[in-house]
Chains A and B, each alone.
Chain A
Amino acid sequence: MNRLLVFQLRRVGRNKQYLFFTVLLPALFTIFITKIIGGQAGDAAGFQDLAASVMVSMMAYGALGAALGATIRISFDRASGWLRQLRITPVPQTQVVAVDVAVGALLALPSLVVVALVGRFVNGVQLGLGTWLTLVAVLWAGSVAFVALGILVGLSLEEKAAGGAIGILGTMLAALGGLWWPVEMFPDAMRALARFMPSYWYAEVGRDVVAGSSTVLPVLALAGFTALFGVLAVLVGTRRPLHAVSG
């Protein structure tokens, strides 16, 4: 395996916050939210819908937080001078970015799997094996939108702003995209706003997989966001090379 990838994974592994915010917290939310609002479900089928929906939201929340957290950190590596240091080794700059993309994508997976397991074995969400696998696979693939967003933010912002952005962006995307409260509970204006959030479409992909309905619209929307973030990241990266000194 690529040495830089192993190196980066080892660094992230030392970060305890990652485990807490992107795996443990979404898992606990999945249990609590389902317990609190589960009583509103009239019957077993209603509870199934509700529990599945909460689970999908929390899978999305955990995965997007992990993807953002892992990639925005590129800003810290710029600020410390590490990216500049790497620039005077034979390691190509494209590999540096590619590895961070890979790390962001890899880190999204544990959140997805753990929350899915909690949904299945704690909350009793019943889905076919194929649906489970599709759900995790599709949400994993969709996390690339937030990997792209994280790289864009990490390349654009200075260290302090980037540190703040990890929490703020994750919270904003979750709250406004309807991951913490279903958009059906939103006032009209906020419901309209949710449609401009990549997080909304991300969760929609998962909900459509669970419901067995067509995922074409949310997949297209999410792909659009991914392309937008990706293009912007490339533009920012070309204007301001990785080795540029911050400040």
Chain B
Amino acid sequence: MPGTPALDVSGLTVRYGDTVAVDELDLTIPTGQTVALLGPNGAGKSTVVNAVLGLLAPAAGAVRVLGRTPREAVRAGSVGAMLQHGGLPSEARVGEVLDLVRRSFPTRWPLEDLVVTAGIDGLLGRPVEALSGGQRQRVLLALALAGAPPLLLLDEPTSAMDVEGRRAFWTTMRGLAERGHTVVFATHHLDEADAVADRVVVVAGGRLVADGSSAQVKAGIVGRTISFTAAPDRRLDGLPAVTGLTRQGTTVTLRTADADVTLRALLADGGLPDLEVRGATLEDAVLSLISTGTDAPIGVAR
């Protein structure tokens, strides 16, 4: 069906007991996009991935993968995934596992090309126990691709890889995107999102807090963070260049677009005990995105 999005999530809410992991999240991803799901640990990225795969039941909302429910999509081979808690069986050889999984799908990625694409040449006869961390991830990638899925979901796929492995992995992903696959990956590394994705979706506290191109999201993140100790009655409003402010007890954290200007104003107003100035991290950016209290996500919705 032309025009059917690869992934359509609407009003998705997932609860673990009393904790709301994902809170009325809307996300539409057209086919062919490479999207980074960016956010700190516990932001709800994995929960979104697992809900899309039907591994957990949402409290509310709907998920459609190429127009299908998660369960139908898995059965039809519309979606393949590298899970965060996925794994390989003991006492089996890589080739046996791959064969079992590949043959279970209605459409199958041709074996020779799959081996080359996933980079598992020479590993098929290997016992699962004899794989290195990086090799293991590549085998899991091969399993994710085995059904030739149009949509590929990757939940922190490079967490067990070294620098070299990561680079090779993302080269593979770019290749897949060029072949028309829709790739959605969860990560907490800004650099990965920056280098690979043509769209970055920032998730925090189970909500979508930013959505746009990598450049657009980064523009919202550049700047510096100033933190210091201040009495609770110290007035901090009206400071120049400040884009976000959080107070935790006596610790004040400011985000500023221009540290120089902000610091001058602060110093003119009194001392700055325990002063710290640093480049904004993703966590800071996300925190500021939340603390500014915008319900509407920044950036450009597509």
Question: Interface stretch among B34-42, B89-97, B163-171, B178-186?
Answer: B89-97
Q: Is B100 an interface residue (CB 8 A)?
A: yes
A90/B83 in contact, CB under 8 A: no
A88 contact from B74, B91, B100, Cβ within 8 A: B74
Q: Is A11 an interface residue (CB 8 A)?
A: yes
B83 contact from A10, A14, A81, Cβ within 8 A: A81
A88/B55 in contact, CB under 8 A: yes
Q: Is B106 an interface residue (CB 8 A)?
A: yes
B55/A87 in contact, CB under 8 A: yes
Q: Is A89 an interface residue (CB 8 A)?
A: yes
Q: How far is the CA of A43 from the CA of B208 in the complex (A)?
A: 85
Q: Which residue of B lies closest to A13 (CB)?
A: B91
Interface residues on B, range: 20 to 34
Given contacts A7-B100, A77-B89, A245-B85, are A85 and B143 in contact (CB under 8 A)?
yes
The digit string for B72-86, where 1 denotes a CB below 8 A from any CB of A, is 001111011101011
A80/B87 in contact, CB under 8 A: yes
A11/B100 in contact, CB under 8 A: no
Given contacts A84-B83, A88-B83, A89-B101, are A11 and B55 in contact (CB under 8 A)?
no
In the complex, what's the smallest C-beta–C-beta distance from B170 to chain A, in angstroms? 22
Q: Is A76 an interface residue (CB 8 A)?
A: yes
Q: Is A120 an interface residue (CB 8 A)?
A: no
Given contacts A90-B77, A243-B55, are A11 and B91 in contact (CB under 8 A)?
yes
Q: How far is the CA of A82 from the CA of B92 in the complex (A)?
A: 11
Given contacts A11-B92, A90-B104, A91-B104, are A85 and B86 in contact (CB under 8 A)?
yes
Question: Could you count the A-B residue pairs with CB atoms below 8 Å apart for me: how many are there?
Answer: 70
A89/B89 in contact, CB under 8 A: no
B83/A3 in contact, CB under 8 A: no
Q: How far is the CA of A10 from the CA of B97 in the complex (A)?
A: 11
Q: Is B88 an interface residue (CB 8 A)?
A: yes
Which chain B positions have C-beta within 8 A of A76?
Answer: 90
Which chain B positions have C-beta within 8 A of A88?
Answer: 53, 55, 74, 79-81, 83, 86
Q: Which residue of A lies closest to B102 (CB)?
A: A89
The digit string for A41-79, where 1 denotes a CB below 8 A from any CB of B, is 000000000000000000000000000000000001100
Which chain A positions have C-beta within 8 A of B106?
Answer: 90
Q: How far is the CA of A85 from the CA of B147 in the complex (A)?
A: 13
Q: Is A94 an interface residue (CB 8 A)?
A: no
List which A10-38 residues lie within 8 A (CB) of chain B.
10-12, 14-15
Q: Summarize B's interface: helix, strand, loop or mixed.
A: loop
Q: Which residue of B lies closest to A76 (CB)?
A: B90
Q: Which residue of B lies closest to A92 (CB)?
A: B75
Q: Is A4 an interface residue (CB 8 A)?
A: yes
Q: Which residue of B lies closest to A81 (CB)?
A: B87
In the complex, what's the smallest C-beta–C-beta distance from B73 to chain A, in angstroms? 10
In the complex, what's the smallest C-beta–C-beta distance from B49 to chain A, in angstroms? 10
Given contacts A3-B100, A85-B143, are A90 and B88 in contact (CB under 8 A)?
no
B88/A7 in contact, CB under 8 A: no
Q: Summarize A's interface: helix, strand, loop or mixed.
A: helix
Q: How far is the CA of A243 from the CA of B88 in the complex (A)?
A: 13
A85/B88 in contact, CB under 8 A: yes
Q: Which residue of B lies closest to A4 (CB)?
A: B100
The digit string for B42-61, where 1 denotes a CB below 8 A from any CB of A, is 00000000000101000000
Q: How far is the CA of A231 from the CA of B104 in the complex (A)?
A: 29
Q: Which residue of A lies closest to B103 (CB)?
A: A3
Which chain B positions have C-beta within 8 A of A4?
Answer: 100
A90/B87 in contact, CB under 8 A: no
A89 contact from B88, B140, B147, Cβ within 8 A: B147
A84/B87 in contact, CB under 8 A: yes
Q: Is B105 an interface residue (CB 8 A)?
A: yes
Which chain B positions have C-beta within 8 A of A77?
Answer: 89
Which chain A positions have C-beta within 8 A of B101?
Answer: 85-86, 89
The digit string for B92-120, where 1 denotes a CB below 8 A from any CB of A, is 10001000110111100000000000000
A-B contacts, 7 listed (Cβ < 8 Å): A7-B100, A80-B88, A80-B90, A82-B88, A84-B87, A90-B105, A91-B104
Beyond the given A10-B92, A86-B101, A90-B106, please list 13 additional residue pairs across the A-B interface where CB-CB is below 8 A: A3-B103, A7-B92, A7-B100, A81-B88, A84-B83, A84-B86, A85-B101, A85-B143, A88-B83, A88-B86, A89-B104, A90-B74, A90-B77
Q: Which 10 residue pairs across A and B have the least CB separation, nearest first? A: A81-B87, A80-B87, A82-B89, A11-B91, A85-B86, A14-B91, A90-B75, A245-B85, A89-B104, A81-B86
A-side residues, CB < 8 A to B, are: 3-4, 7, 10-12, 14-15, 76-77, 80-82, 84-91, 243, 245
B-side residues, CB < 8 A to A, are: 53, 55, 74-77, 79-81, 83, 85-92, 96, 100-101, 103-106, 140, 143, 146-147
